[in-house]
Structure 1
Amino acid sequence: MAVSRDRLMAYSIVFYVHPEAYSSVSIYMKPNVNQIEAAGSIGRGQSDIYTSFMISNLEEQRKRIAEDPIPIYRTLFSLLDSTSDDDVFAQSLLATIDGAIQDDSRQIASLVQLATGRETFNVMALLVRSANTFKNIPLIVGAASHILASILSEIILRNRENPGDYINQATRLVDSLINQAMENSLPLEEATYCFLPLFKIDAIRREFLRTGGLRTVLVPLLEQKSGIFQPIYAAICCLWMLSFDEDSYEFFIRSDYNLIGKIIKELRRTDKEKVIRVALGTLKNLSAGEGTIEIMIENKLVEIIDNLSKRILKDQDVTDLVKDIGDVLASSVKLFSSFEKWLKEVERGDLVPGVTHTEAFWKENAKHLENDSFGPVKKLVQLLNSESVQTVVLALGDIGEFARFHPYGKTVAGKLGAKIRAMELLQNPNKEVNGAALLCIQKIMIQNWQSIS
């Protein structure tokens, strides 16, 4: 459901996640603001500021907040400080503040001024209190956390040499968001929007990786929201920011996360150039890592880049990225599908998933195993005794493909003991191993494999 952009609050990140709440929150006006002012809970004249600002339309709000933002933000925070039981009022106030900084990022400077000035309230403590007071209302938690994340990020970036306790506050916020996402008390995409401003800070990106944020938030978000523009764009933006750190590469090549595969999947699904740009930017950063190009080739990125190169793209950055990644892939495809690379894996005794363990590779290279009296096959059979499940499974697969595609492959594999060892591995307690063993035996024994495969 689309949200009508008739107020600044409509730009708050929370209405990307809770669009159904906008109709009730956007029309809400606190009925007794004059009484709050009369009681001294807010400053003189702030009830009028609140009322006139909240009834203004979008363009009027933009104009007023651009000309004189501090009195408006001071009023909104003062009112937030005065409420502890009106959750719709808190939603309205926080969404308005968040929407204003989302609409114009220059507005964050005014919030920093309030947060670091001598106000009657502590902006950051107030945001934390709001999130805790209404912790069962994700809209409030999301808006308060995003405002807090934006303020902390700006302060830390301004004081890189001496960030003081602000780094610790940002770290606590990251940990809290991850925990809430893990407990399902905060939607994954809402937590992700909050990470975006914080990921401008090196230490926070490292904290996110250290505490399992990828596994808890971004991996499941990419799986659950695949093809949905806004959350996928936010998730890949986070990955793009993480990809600037070499320490993150080990996470991108993990098979259980399959992050590169997930990014390429979204590239295949989307026609949104914003998503394409940030996805390609992430992949370009990762192309410097060991093993990442091979994963990209395995996930058929070459085909996607070829298709993109034929499209008319409006964004010149996207066009440049398509060319850059295309050049990297063109120079890498031959290297990563070469027989020499496979031989190095076998010599090392550590087989890794990739294009050297595919049907296409074996169709082209099966005859090369004749070298040194089928020496490479002998070494492959020895790897069936490896302690690595991955190596044993891939070796079984390679022997099966050799048996399929070499004219004497079945005979050679049998004479060198591959069939006997594969039959022994049928008893292996690991299901992946005994499944690969069964398939290997079938390929060695069945004459016309193609007719049943």
Structure 2
Amino acid sequence: MISYLVNNEVQTSFVKTKTQRKNPEKSSKKMKRIIKQVNMFVSPALVIPPNNEIFKEDTLNNAINNNSNLSDEKRTVLSLYLRQAPEERARIMNEVDLKSLIEIFYILLNQSEHPGVIENTTLLFDDFINADINRIPLISEIDIQLTIELCTRLIRQMKTESLTILKASIEVFTILTTYCGTFNDFVSIMGDYFQVIREIYSIANPTRSTYQPLHLFNWSLYILLNKQPYRKVFSKEIPLNFLLEVHDKIVATQDNELLYSLFHIVWLQSFDEKLVEHDFPENFIQIFANVLLKIKIEKLIRIVLLIIHNLLNVDWYVRLLVQHEFNLIIPMLLSRTFSDSDIVEMLQEINEIVEKKVTETSSMECYMDELKSGRMRWSPMHRSEQFWTENVTHFELENWALVRKLKGVINDKSADPVCVSVACFDLGEVARYHPLGRKIMNDLGIKLDLLQLTSSEQPDVKKNAIYAVQKIMLHHWDLVQTD
């Protein structure tokens, strides 16, 4: 079923980015990567009993006899259908019979209040669709309000403990919301669907077993999030900041397939230009760095690179890549051998853009952006003599505002140790290069703050605090040891 959805919907529907519009050659290459990635997606093999092992024909036979909304003709059609073997059901080609069966499924699903009837009809409907994908256009002819009502009932059924019924419900729901009516028709109920997924994400201390249903939902999300209206609803119900927390839970379960699926969701969201420009969490950059440094699984590396590639149009994220030392990470990866040529190509493209940004990071604007982000890193400008010579006077502006911000960083008990280390180093450089640097460090009490950090339990913080104090106290800076 997923191959049908992929080949008919996903490959042609991705948003073209600004870079793609400007450069058709890159656009073509990127689309080929997208199509390849789409076709690579495979739901993991879960141990789920097939529909026919769960299906209870007696339940539907009782429904046939007791449902006043079924005409005698429809009762006969369904009775004959139930008596046929699966192979015979798959060979039904008569359009009148097929439409009649679809109407019967709708009546049973929408008008029955018996859970057993709804569950077994869902299994039957799922098999009906999977038997011949050419039946899908006939389903789309049903009144859209009836389809919305049916999908609403399927959502309620998704809290079942049966993976078989859950799988069938998700498959039917995904088909209907993809091919019937317009996407806007289902926006009103899509939030409820995503809330079911969020409840599973929210399980405290999850295990592989408790997270198993997510593998089934991820198949559906992979199809639905290709559509911009659905991505918009998803980002409201399950924002990327929430997925950051989910990432940590998935890592704890050591389920790499689920981690891969999570990155697929992030990748699909990264095609939304507004989301990337305004709401893409910076912390994902550190996660991507960890994946590239620690994980050897090529498909995980590939999907992370695809996400990064979608972020390259936003200058701020390129700066973050530099801050997180991607100018060192990418060359390390390029020294490895990969079976997937796309990985090498993407690494080269990302490396070219990151290296270009490295040459620009001696600007004061980049420094202020980094300080504002609260995630200072050992980007090249901190140890650049040219940067300090050209820009140290900026630190005296607005009553030494930048120096005061650095003081706030080193006194923040919750701050990242790397950030504190860089701030200590920079305060030492201000003292070193600015004529009034030593005086302002004393006047603002920064020297005392640094002295306290010389006994820090964090080795790098301690080292850089000591160096900074030396720079404040000594006149001959060339005697100060730095590395």
Partner of residue 86, structure 1 = 116
Q: Distance in 1 between matches of 2:288 and 2:94?
A: 42
Aligned to 2:446: 422
Q: Which secondary structure state, in structure 2, belongs to the residue aligned with residue 137 of structure 1?
A: coil
Measured at CA, do residues 180 and 395 of structure 1 come closer, stay the same or move farther in structure 2, by a change above 3 Å?
closer
* Cα pair 1:410 1:444 within 8 Å, conserved: no
Q: Distance in 2 between matches of 1:349 and 1:302?
A: 16
Partners in 2 of 1:151 and 1:29 — Cα distance? 22
Q: How does 1:68-79 map to 2 (within 5 A)?
A: 70=98, 74=102
For residue 200 of structure 1, give the secondary structure of its aligned residue in structure 2.
Answer: coil
Deviation at 1:318, TM superposition (A): 4.0
Tell me if the contact between 1:402 and 1:409 (Cα under 8 Å) persists in the aligned partners. Answer: no
| Partner in structure 2 of residue 213 of structure 1 | 239
Number of the residue aligned with 1:322 = 347
**Cα offset, 1:425, TM superposition:** 6.2
CA RMSD of aligned residues (A): 5.4
**Counterpart position of 1:375:** 393
Residue 46 in structure 1 maps to residue 85 in structure 2:
no
CA offset digits 1:311-331 (Å, max 9, x no partner): 555545444433322332232
Q: Equivalents in 2 of 1:315, 1:367: separation in Å? A: 41
Distance 2:350 2:285 in 1: 14
> 2: distance between equivalents of 1:348 and 1:134?
45
Structure 2 residue identity aligned to 1:126: L
Gaps of 5+ in 2: 1-41, 68-73, 205-209, 413-417, 451-459, 472-478
Kept in 2: contact 1:127–1:145 (CA 8 A):
no
Check conservation: 2:151, 2:176, Cα contact below 8 A: no
Q: Which range moved further: 263-272 or 90-99?
A: 90-99
Could you tell me which of 152, 155, 161 is aligned with 1:131? 155
Percent identical residues: 13
TM-score (normalised: structure 1): 0.66
Alignment of 1:166 with 2:212, yes or no, is no
The answer to whether the aligner puts 1:293 opposite 2:318 as a matched pair is: yes
Aligned to 1:201: 227
Q: Which residue of 2 aligns with 1:144?
A: 169
Contact in 1 for aligned 2:157/2:166 (Cα 8 Å): no
CA shift in 2, pair 1:233/1:143, >3 Å: farther
Q: Count matched residues.
A: 407
The answer on whether the counterparts of 2:323 and 2:379 sit within 8 Å (CA) in structure 1 is: no
Q: Of 238, 259, 266, which residue of structure 2 is paired with 1:239?
A: 266
Structure 2 CA distance for aligned equivalents of residues 126 and 318 of structure 1:
43
Residues 267 and 276 in structure 1, CA contact (< 8 A), matched pair in contact too:
yes
| 219-228 vs 417-426, greater mean Cα deviation | 417-426
CA contact (8 A) 2:231 2:269 kept: yes
State which of 283, 293, 299 in structure 1 corresponds to 2:308: 283
Within a 5 Å distance, the mapping from 1:8-407 to structure 2 comes to: 19-20=46-47, 22-23=48-49, 27-32=53-58, 35-36=61-62, 39=65, 41=67, 43-47=75-79, 49-50=81-82, 52-53=84-85, 64=91, 70=98, 74=102, 84-86=114-116, 90=119, 93-94=122-123, 97=126, 107=133, 110-111=135-136, 113-117=138-142, 122-133=146-157, 135-137=159-161, 139=163, 140=165, 143-155=168-180, 159=182, 165-174=185-194, 177-178=197-198, 181-182=201-202, 191-216=217-242, 218-226=243-251, 228-250=255-277, 253-255=280-282, 258-310=283-335, 313-336=338-361, 340-341=362-363, 343-345=364-366, 351-352=372-373, 357-358=377-378, 361-362=381-382, 364-366=383-385, 369-370=388-389, 375=393, 378=396, 382-386=401-405, 397-398=421-422, 400-402=424-426
8 Å contact 1:400–1:444 — kept in the other structure?
yes
- Aligned-pair CA distance for 1:358: 1.6
Higher relative contact order (CA 8 A, sep 6+): 2
Does the Cα contact within 8 Å between 1:244 and 1:285 map onto a contact in 2? yes
Q: Aligned pair in 2 of structure 1 residues 215, 71: CA closer, same or farther (>3 Å)?
A: same
Unaligned runs of 5+ in 1: 1-14, 427-435
Return the offset for 1:165.
3.0
Distance between the aligned counterparts of 2:316 and 2:143, measured in 1?
A: 53
Q: Is the 8 A contact 1:149 1:170 kept in 2?
A: no
The question of whether the paired residues in 2 share the 8 Å contact of 1:142 and 1:190 is answered with yes
Which residue number in structure 2 is paired with residue 432 of structure 1? Answer: none
SS of equivalent residue, structure 2 residue 56: coil
What amino acid sits opposite 2:156 in the alignment?
N
Per-residue Cα deviation, 1:321-362 (whole angstroms, up to 9, x for no partner): 3332233223223223xxx32x335678954456x7428654
Deviation at 1:250, TM superposition (A): 4.4
Distance 1:39 1:212, change over 3 A: closer
Deviations 1:407-427 (A, max 9, x none): 96899854332585326769x
Change (3 A) 1:176 1:403: closer
Q: CA deviation at 1:282?
A: 1.7
How far does residue 289 in structure 1 lie from its aligned partner after superposition?
0.7
Distance between the aligned counterparts of 2:286 and 2:122, measured in 1? 40
User: Which residue identity does 1:110 align to in structure 2?
Assistant: R
